[in-house]
Structure 1
Amino acid sequence: MRSEKARQGRLATLVVMGVLLSACARQGHPEAAATKPPAMGTTGAAESMAPEMLIGSWTLVDVADTGAGKILHLADSELHLIGSHCGTLGGSWRANDEGVFLADVWSASTVVVENTPGCEKASQETPGWLRSVTAYQFDGAGLPVLLDGRGQAVARLIPGATPTPEPDKADSVLEPPMVTDEARRALTPAVALPATLVPADQRQLIGRWAPKSGHKAAYLEFTADGEWHGSDGCNDQSGRWITAAGGTLLATARAATLAFCADSVPIEQWVTTARRAGFDGKVLVLLNAHGSETGRLSPTS
């Protein structure tokens, strides 16, 4: 009996020492204690990071720019920022199960834009606070928190927001968003980058790229401010982009013209369906969530 009690006492002591050593290690390395988007896989604990849990009508809390909107409406890939001084702003968003988040605003109510000074420009620019968001996580209550590149909270999302009718506001924006099969497909976890490719990072992607074949005027350019520009050969295209570990690449796309031309290259589709980016030598390879190639491009200089 004494031997068993002694053994239990030694185990308890070891557990306490382990906790103390762990705490000391975190104090000695501040970066280990910093808030960072969790890097999870696609099973087990990662279920709590399912990006479809972001779909909803959310009241924005703790946003530094109080005039940039009061409600964030996320439905499928569409985004609406409601209650700004320019009414309702529209755009798109992307997220993945690794906690990466990207938003892009590029439209607004025509009535408001035409009658409110400064709103034409605002309708074509993502608000600064929303541009700074690069990740998300869920707090202890299971509510979403949007984070910047340093892992600091930019906004907290409270469910149940109820938008009020406005000129030109679609009925779909007034209704609570639902998680559809289309949304699940768009947000499906991406398979890992093939071992034959070297993961691309933000620094390596910046620059101008040309497709291996197709229209000679087609191109894709990533800029350091998180914007991408391109052409299928006849239509100018653009959006925002973000990278993360493992060659993760997420990108949005804005409205574009639809002129027809022979040998056009689906640059926009390549970029927006891509979930990973890697290098085969100097060639940039874009892959979708299932690991299938969406396009190959070479540097132009």
Structure 2
Amino acid sequence: MWTPVGIGAEPASVVGLTPEELTVYQTCGELQAAWKADSQGLFIADVMSSSDGCDPDTRVAWLDKAAGYRVDGRTVVLVDVDGATIAHLVASGKPLRPDRESFEVPAEFRRSFAPPAVLPAGLTPVVRQDLPGRWVPVSDGPKPPNQPYLAFGTDGRWAGSDGCNGSGGGWVSGPAGTLLATTGITTLVGCDNVPVGSWLSSARRAGLDGATLVLLDQNAAELGRLRRDDSDPDITTSPSGE
């Protein structure tokens, strides 16, 4: 449990963190967020749902801006993409809900914080400025009803489609091509799809092979390749149900 300090005019809140989710406790109720972090100092959290009287479309400004962290004793300092401090998370007392008083941190979760394998030779690490825009898979794989794509926004949000189902979330990149992305609720239409959203949510590094974007997992295994698509200038990071 953590108390955010230095968040300006945001409502007073407490943050609960478990391996499964990040919960923001506010006066209206709870906001549930997906989150990821790594040992390189990247951090991202994305509010996905709410309970009680909280508006399901509520955004938490300071949390949306967070792109990294550093640990200072018992305080976690959240920073934005430029390294400026967004908030301090100060270790708090008892949890607000007794059923969350204890939980296990599984070995798989701990392993996810290990530094990812380096990029294979021949790939150039992506930097944040490389990603914004619309990307489509280059493989000659399945032919779903609609064009699969990933659209990265300059605001740290992404949206996409596997050809049948829309999805979206947040993204953040770091040194040497490190990459983290959260994924929210998606539709479940069955089709012969291209799982570009799964590629992104599983990615830990990204590189460029010429003009081709290559997404790689924790072990530098290739997840998928995409090319930039400039045919649709109307880039949106609001998930669609394609």
TM-score, length-scaled by structure 2: 0.86
Question: TM-score, structure 1 length as denominator?
Answer: 0.70
More strand by share: 2
**2:96 is equivalent to residue 164 of structure 1:** yes
Higher relative contact order (CA 8 A, sep 6+): 2
Q: Is the 8 A contact 2:7 2:87 kept in 1?
A: yes
- The structure 2 residue matched to 1:245, chosen from 160, 165, 175, is 175
Structure 1 residue 160, shift from structure 2 partner: 4.2
1:144 to 72, 76, 79: 76
Identity across the alignment (%): 38
Distance, in Å, in 1 between the alignment partners of 2:83 and 2:136 is 34
- Contact 1:231–1:237 (CA<8 Å) still a contact in 2? yes
Pick closer, same or farther for the CA change 1:218–1:226 going to 2, 3 Å.
same
Instruction: Find the residue that maps to 1:120 and give its secondary structure.
Output: coil
CA contact (8 A) 2:6 2:88 kept: yes
Does 2:163 align with 1:219? no
* Alignment RMSD: 1.9
Say if 2:16 is the partner of 1:63: no
Contact kept, 8 Å, 1:90 with 1:108, in 2: the verdict is: yes
Aligned length: 226
1:225-283 CA deviation, whole Å, 9 max, x = no partner?
Answer: 11111111110010111111111111000011111002x11112100110111111111
Residues 239 and 252 in structure 1, CA contact (< 8 A), matched pair in contact too: yes
The amino acid across from 1:61 in the alignment is: V
For 1:193 and 1:272, locate their aligned partners in 2 and report how far apart those are by CA, in whole Å.
17
Whether 1:112 and 2:49 are equivalent positions in the alignment is no
Partners in 1 of 2:48 and 2:109 — Cα distance? 21
Out of 172, 185, 192, which is 2:111 matched to?
A: 185
Give the distance between the partners of 2:81 and 2:8, measured in 1 at CA: 16
Inter-partner Cα distance in structure 2 for 1:143 and 1:178? 21
Higher helix share: 1
Q: 1:91 to 1:134 in 2, by over 3 A?
A: same
One of 205, 209, 229 as aligned partner of 1:276: 205
Question: In the aligned structure 1, how far is the partner of 2:84 from the partner of 2:154?
Answer: 21
Whole-angstrom CA distance in 2 between matches of 1:249 and 1:243: 4
Tell me whether 71-80 or 289-298 shows the greater mean CA deviation. Answer: 71-80
Q: Deviations over 1:106-163 (max 9, x none)?
A: 2100x324xxxxx2321xx3x1111121111111x34322122343332222334333
- Taking the aligned partners of 1:177 and 1:144, their CA distance within structure 2 comes to 20
Pair 1:90 & 2:20 matched: no
Question: Letter of the aligned partner of 1:217 in structure 2?
Answer: Q
Inter-partner Cα distance in structure 2 for 1:87 and 1:291: 40
CA distance in structure 2 between the partners assigned to 1:207 and 1:273 by the alignment: 20
Q: Is the radius of gyration larger for structure 1 or structure 2?
A: 1
Tell me the residue number matched to 1:257.
187
Match of 1:128 in 2: 61
Paired residue secondary structure (1:228): strand
Q: Is the 8 A contact 2:199 2:223 kept in 1?
A: yes
1:74 maps to which residue?
17
Q: Which secondary structure does the structure 1 equivalent of 2:187 belong to?
A: coil
The residue type paired with residue 276 of structure 1 is R
The CA distance in 1 between the partners of 2:14 and 2:115, in whole Å, is 27
CA distance in 2, matches of 1:86, 1:267: 35
- Name the SS for the 2:4 alignment partner: strand
